[in-house]
Structure 1
Amino acid sequence: MQRVAFVNPRLPLPSSSFTRFRLRNMSTNPSPVSPKFVSVEGADIHSRSKPDGFRFRLVSYNILAQVYVKSSLFPHSPSPCLKWKARSQAILTILKNLGADFLCLQEVDEYDGFYKGKMEILGYSGLYIQRSGQKRDGCGIFYKQDRAELVLEEKMDYNDLVSPIEDYKDGSANKDSLEQSNGDRNIHKNPASTNAPENRGDPNDPRVRLKRDCVGILAAFRLKDLSRHVIVVANTHIYWDPKWADVKLAQAKYLLSRLAQFRDLVSDKFDCIPAVIVAGDFNSTPGDEKKSYSE
């Protein structure tokens, strides 16, 4: 049985509209407040005399891409905290203090110029996929080199949902395969808002509606402990707009489909039954609107 400790992804990050730093004597030099792990097994998990199963720490965190940091959006954050020089070091400090074996991060920009090298110094190797189009951020999985070995990886782009539709429009795909690939029958019937900032055409055209430049990573790791267990970790960032619930559902269905295929591939390749962990920013909470659109 796997034991996973997690950190609450809604705890403060270095640049939210909430107060992100404890300032010393109102100094302009911020001191980041690091979240603490809450064990899913309770306080006694590390005090057991006879460990059972295998244990590791995994954190999922939306660290807020610097490209999205605007003072107008975070009026309650001290100005110095919004600067890349301060934020980057604060984020790095928090990630280090978490002491996680796996870090599933969303909205990662400056990967090659900052995170890759800095995280290597902390003992992590990284996987990264940048969003499609002109987007500068993406998803990353960092793992402790002394705790896990990467054995297989696969990257996914939700814009792939558009291809079956284009094939269908060209007459090269049948209707049943189109509906299965979309993840939601008649997805283009959704009458939701047409004023989304990312609107790039007629939102009732599924080729426009589904092209949201969202991505994800699937990775398989072998733990470097006595168990030598293989685990599958997925990290993704689902589309943000609450009025486009159909797009979220289509992306979620595509993720689960790809994940099932990847899990089976890992199982056959390494002759194992891998544990599967899905992490990410799903831009959804219990009770969010979920509609079924029909003719």
Structure 2
Amino acid sequence: MDNSSSHQKCTKPKMDPYHDTCYNQNNATAICDISFNSASNYNMLYHQSGTFTDKSVKTNVADPKPIGNYIDKPRYKAIRKWKRLGKERSISNAEDLFLMRVLSFNILAQNLLEDHSYLYMNHNKKTLMWKIRKPLVIQEIIEAEANVICLQEMQEDHLLDFIIPFKQLGYDYLYKKRTNDKKDGLLLLYRSDQFTLVDYAKVELYQSGIELLSRDNVGIIAKFSLKDSPETQFVVATTHLLYNPKRNDVRLAQIQLLLAEIERIAFVENLTMDKAKYLPIILTGDFNLKPFSGVYKFLTEGSFEYHGKGRNLEPSSYRSLSNSLIPSRLCVTDNCQHFNILTQRLQREGTGKVMLENSEFPPQKDEKMSTSCNTKVLQQNNVNADTDRAQTIEIIQGHSAKFASGTLTHPFNMRSVYTHTSAHGEEATTHQEEWVTVDYIFYSNIQPIEKYTLLTVSQCKTLRRLPNFVVGSDHLSIGATFQLPKKKSLL
């Protein structure tokens, strides 16, 4: 965006194949070409007439009402507006801020749709075709104008064709296929003209020989810096956890591994012996869990006691969990930190090596047996890798690491962009026997200022089945705009 006056009129969209019309203020589905390129847009975004404020939406967009027994495309777009969070306030130093918009979307891999066709028996068959769904998905993503896009269920053999329009718009990407014989994975797109990719991790949540971690789910974690402010850095992560509704214990173990990798990449410095400083973190994805379930509580409250609970992480006297969730040989502590990384930071010695298996980085010739390698590292620090008993290991005076304590903790102050009032919630992101929320954007050390509004459960019922000719997936996309203060160079 060169100046605010250049965007006071509606301009021709950049992606003609996927944008049918440039809507104006006389059209009930007004969508203008508003770009989120720099913090200088802040005042324009919230004070310019006809843009994304709630006031302008109410003025320019008719109240969304279903036609007949379904919501059509214009009214769907009218519902899916960007809503300001908190009270609007004037920002005098807008040049010191960067507006970052993140979109997360499970786009429904075509191979999974076909493998589970029984779930879509009552759908219009045309709405299930990839050639019909693909332009709907791409259009919705592009119209959101996000700086970072996190997609789940991106089919590998569709990838190169799918990213063409995004490459044309200046996005670069990271992709991680699910492990073993799975054909889909995660796609993280980012504006390469705005961000520099500083570091990243493609996390495999499958770890051989461990029943709880025998599923092929993965995660992507990326550390970025701003092109025009290199010292301003942040971390975006995305994942797609196990679906099985009965196995919250599996999802808890998967999150433990993912948070350990986030902790490694987001770490800045130790402030005290028991407190560290971390970069801003945004964690998105399809978590396959409901609000206020065990894993949700763990993420948002920072602590969860699993010992004695059932596989659904609810109190149970049948097949209750022991004090040990994952074996200590993985070198991941109960505070979701890599033990080797932690000892290197505090003792300033050791390899600091991540001991998780990853098929993209097979062990070296002298490390074919990962278990023996892990055991050696642990023994050097007096950790018993062959026991599931609770262990507390003092690394330095005043700082200890715990294994198999029966309780997990993490060092982040995580919050959900979307507020939830009950386990079912008033909004929904997909239909799993009922309309439920399973997709989330969690954040820490960063301020959200907008969210992409979801449909309420009653509105979802009038939307009817997903996918359809309005939404190209069986999930609804979610999004948030964050305010990132720029760091000034010390030079």
Normalising by structure 2, what TM-score? 0.41
CA distance in 1, matches of 2:129, 2:189: 24
Q: How does 1:148-167 map to 2 (within 5 A)?
A: 148-160=195-207, 162=208, 166=209
- Sort the Cα spacing of 1:112 and 1:287 in 2 relative to 1 into closer, same or farther, 3 A: closer
Equivalent residue for 1:294, pick from 319, 322, 336 = 322
On the 8 A contact 1:123/1:144 being kept in 2, the answer is yes
- Out of 144, 150, 159, the residue aligned to residue 98 of structure 1 is 144
Distance across 2 between alignment mates of 1:279 and 1:112? 20
One-letter code of the match for 2:250? Answer: V
Q: Which residue of 1 aligns with 2:184?
A: 137
Secondary structure, in 3 states, of the residue corresponding to 1:59? strand
TM-score normalised per structure 1: 0.66
Deviations 1:82-124 (A, max 9, x none): 1111111111111110100001111111453322323212221
The aligned counterpart of 1:22 is 72
1:82 maps onto 2:82 in alignment: no
C-alpha contact 2:199 2:265 (8 A) present in aligned 1: no
Residue 246 of structure 2 aligns to a residue whose secondary structure is: coil
Q: CA RMSD in A?
A: 3.1
Q: Structure 1: state its 5+ residue gaps.
A: 4-18, 25-30, 167-206
Partner of 1:69, secondary structure, is: helix
Are 2:146 and 1:146 aligned? no
Question: How far did 1:253 drift?
Answer: 0.9
Q: Percent identity?
A: 32
For residue 157 of structure 1, report the CA deviation from its aligned partner.
0.2
Query: Following TM superposition, by how much is the alpha carbon of 1:274 offset from its aligned partner in structure 2, in angstroms?
Result: 2.0
Structure 1 pair 263–23 and aligned structure 2 pair: CA distance change class (3 A): closer
Cα distance per residue 1:118-138 (max 9 Å; x no partner):
321222111000001111110
Distance 1:294 1:148 in 2: 44
CA contact (8 A) 1:209 1:247 kept: yes
Tell whether the 8 Å contact from 2:205 to 2:217 is kept in structure 1 after alignment.
yes
Q: Aligned equivalents of 1:222 and 1:41: distance in 2?
A: 27
SS of the residue 1:146 aligns to: coil
SS at match of 2:152: strand
Distance 1:102 1:41, change over 3 A: farther
User: Aligned AA for 2:137?
Assistant: I
Residue number in structure 2 paired with 1:245: 248
Between the aligned partners of 1:214 and 1:61, the Cα distance in structure 2 is: 16
- In the alignment of these two chains, the number of paired residues is 222
Deviations 1:144-167 (A, max 9, x none): 12221111111110013x3xxx4x
Matches of 1:143 and 1:21, distance apart in 2 = 31
Q: Is the 8 A contact 1:32 1:94 kept in 2?
A: no
How many angstroms apart in 2 are the aligned matches of 1:254 and 1:223? 28
Is contact 1:216–1:236 with CA below 8 Å preserved after alignment?
yes
Check the 8 A contact 1:157/1:213 in 2, yes or no. Answer: yes
Q: 1:96 to 1:249 in 2, by over 3 A?
A: same
Taking the aligned partners of 2:168 and 2:123, their CA distance within structure 1 comes to 29
Instruction: Measure the CA separation in 2 of the matches of 1:36 and 1:67.
Output: 31
**1:57 partnered with 2:101:** yes
Task: Give the whole-Å Cα distance in 1 for the aligned partners of 2:82 and 2:173.
Answer: 22
Structure 2 partner of 1:115: 162
Q: 1:81 to 1:220 in 2, by over 3 A?
A: same
Q: CA deviation at 1:232?
A: 0.8
Between the aligned partners of 1:37 and 1:262, the Cα distance in structure 2 is 30
> Which of 197, 204, 211 is the equivalent residue of 2:214?
211
Amino acid at match of 2:185: G
Output the CA distance in 2 between the equivalents of 1:64 and 1:112.
13
Secondary structure of the equivalent of 1:285? coil
Give the structure 1 partner of residue 280 of structure 2.
275
Q: Which moved more, 1:273-282 or 1:236-245?
A: 273-282
Query: In the TM superposition, what is the alpha-carbon distance from 1:294 to its structure 2 partner?
Result: 2.4
Aligned to 1:255: 258
